[in-house]
Structure 1
Amino acid sequence: MTGHPHQWFGGRTYAQHGDDLAVLNIFHRLGIAKPSYLDVGAYHPFDLSNTALLYERGSRGINVEPNEAHHALFLKARPDDINLCVGVAPMNGRLAFHHVAADPGRFTFDVATATTLGIVKSVEAPVLTLNEIVAHHAGGAWPDLLSIDIEGLDIDVLRSAEFGGGPPRVVVVEADNGSGSNAAELGALMAVKGFTLHSWCGSNMIFVRAADQALVWGD
């Protein structure tokens, strides 16, 4: 089953909720054929990935994954990307990275989330801010897509981000990791940062720049 030739973005999705197809559609509306990306809490190069399909279609970007075993998979499967084995937090330094009894995709630096899931062990790991990653690994320019899924710290990390005059065109962020929805707070924060809600994909909210709204919706 390879899909119909008239499926613009192919017949395959790697994302948990088809987020990658929604994102490709938005960038098609924006006239960006190969959007760059910053995938924070990237987890796996293909499984439940919001950026694997973009990579497959010629896009390149930065994957941030503090789990050493999963980071090694990125080095092997997506060698043309920049693959960082660090965490992301509101401030740089070192934090306890909690391995939990759930799927490795739920490993987190957020102790409250980790405690709820059942901490198996904690290891100290380096963390950077979003702005440091952009400054040092993206030439100071925000990639077209920011995808963030870091199990409990998403809002704090986004709040600390300084987008300046050239923010991402699209932001995908998990609004409900099973511990309760933070959609209202997230929506308010992104509005202050100049974004509007485009749509939901499962538990993820997809935001676009408010300045791009007319292009995306064709108004």
Structure 2
Amino acid sequence: MVRNRVVNLWEKKYGKLTYAQCGEDVIMKYLFKNYLKKEKPSYLDIGAHHPTYLSNTFLFYKEKCYGVCVEPDPCLYTYIAKKRPRDIVLNVGVGLMDNVRSNFYVMKTKTLNTFSKEEAERYQNHENQKIERIIELPLLSVNTIINRHFKECPDLISLDVEGLDYDILTSIDFVKYRPNVICVETITYSENSTQRKLTEISEYLIKNDYWIYADTFINTIFVDQKIMSKGNAGY
């Protein structure tokens, strides 16, 4: 109770400490400022969901960084565009290739919206969820989004797409586009609600010369080892 009062007093005077689920935005801000020497990192937020709630990028938006948010849900897209007018907000899905369309499953709990039919059905059958509607949306690849909306590769990619994170990561051209930092959800839940870390994501990024800088159990933050000496990296 005392802790909550202190936090509330601090937020009234200085603003929220973090908007992300487990403080990922504060961790990344520290990383960019103290190690990567970037005061205003650009960002690509894939699966933005909400302008502020559980947002890995709103803290950077507040500091007037350049950003692009991708949100397939039309209602959430409209709300994000209204609340974050400086951002470029795209009402599309992210896929492995361009010029295709795919079904987007809008769930009762909007944080679980997904393009994965298997994930949507699993949520509905085992997580007390409901598929409220299915929308057909165009898909763009990460490479196309970066090419169209960034002069250079974004400094940060935040990725949370419910079941398709690994597929999207493997579609990125890491020879051409190397974000300094990648924040991606690396936890999933089985049908009996058992938690499991998605080790294949970490293995793939490590193979592509990224290090694990921090892990909040829900999300893992990776940093490009080519721009940060190993002596500076924390685990």
TM-score w.r.t. structure 2 length?
Answer: 0.84
Residue 122 of structure 1 corresponds to 134
Q: Is 2:123 the partner of 1:100?
A: no
Residue 37 of structure 2 corresponds to 31
1:162 aligns to what SS in structure 2? coil
Give the alignment partner of residue 161 of structure 1, picking from 165, 172, 175.
Answer: 172
Residue 81 of structure 2 corresponds to 75
**Partner Cα separation in structure 1 for residue 94 and residue 157 of structure 2:** 13
Give the alignment partner of residue 134 of structure 1, picking from 138, 146, 154.
Answer: 146
Deviation at 1:215? 7.2
Which residues of structure 1 form unaligned runs of 5+?
Answer: none
1:126 aligns to what SS in structure 2? strand
**Partner Cα separation in structure 1 for residue 233 and residue 54 of structure 2:** 30
**Partner Cα separation in structure 2 for residue 178 and residue 154 of structure 1:** 14
C-alpha RMSD of the superposition: 2.2
**Partner Cα separation in structure 1 for residue 116 and residue 231 of structure 2:** 34
Q: Sequence identity of aligned pairs in percent?
A: 35
| Structure 2 counterparts to residues 43-58 of structure 1, below 5 A | 43-58=49-64
Q: Amino acid of the residue matched to residue 169 of structure 1? A: N
Residue 21 of structure 2 corresponds to 16
**Partner Cα separation in structure 1 for residue 140 and residue 10 of structure 2:** 40
Q: Amino acid of the residue matched to residue 162 of structure 2? A: E
> Could you list the per-position Cα deviations for residues 146-194 of structure 1 after superposition, in whole angstroms to 9, with x for gaps in the alignment?
0000000000010011022441000000011434535321111101222
Give the alignment partner of residue 162 of structure 2, picking from 140, 151, 154.
Answer: 151
Contact 1:142 1:163 in 2 (8 A): no
Question: Which of structures 1 and 2 has the bigger CA Rg?
Answer: 2
1:46 aligns to what SS in structure 2? coil
Contact 1:30 1:216 in 2 (8 A): no
Distance change (3 Å), C-alpha of 1:67 and 1:4: closer
Give the alignment partner of residue 186 of structure 1, picking from 197, 201, 211.
Answer: 201
Q: Amino acid of the residue matched to residue 2 of structure 1? A: W
Contact 1:147 1:172 in 2 (8 A): yes
Residue 2 of structure 1 corresponds to 10
**Partner Cα separation in structure 1 for residue 141 and residue 233 of structure 2:** 35
Count of aligned positions: 214
Contact 2:96 2:141 in 1 (8 A): yes
Moved more, 178-187 or 29-38: 178-187
**Partner Cα separation in structure 2 for residue 198 and residue 71 of structure 1:** 30
Residue 48 of structure 2 corresponds to 42
TM-score w.r.t. structure 1 length?
Answer: 0.90
Distance change (3 Å), C-alpha of 1:45 and 1:11: closer
**Partner Cα separation in structure 1 for residue 110 and residue 51 of structure 2:** 14
**Partner Cα separation in structure 2 for residue 218 and residue 95 of structure 1:** 39
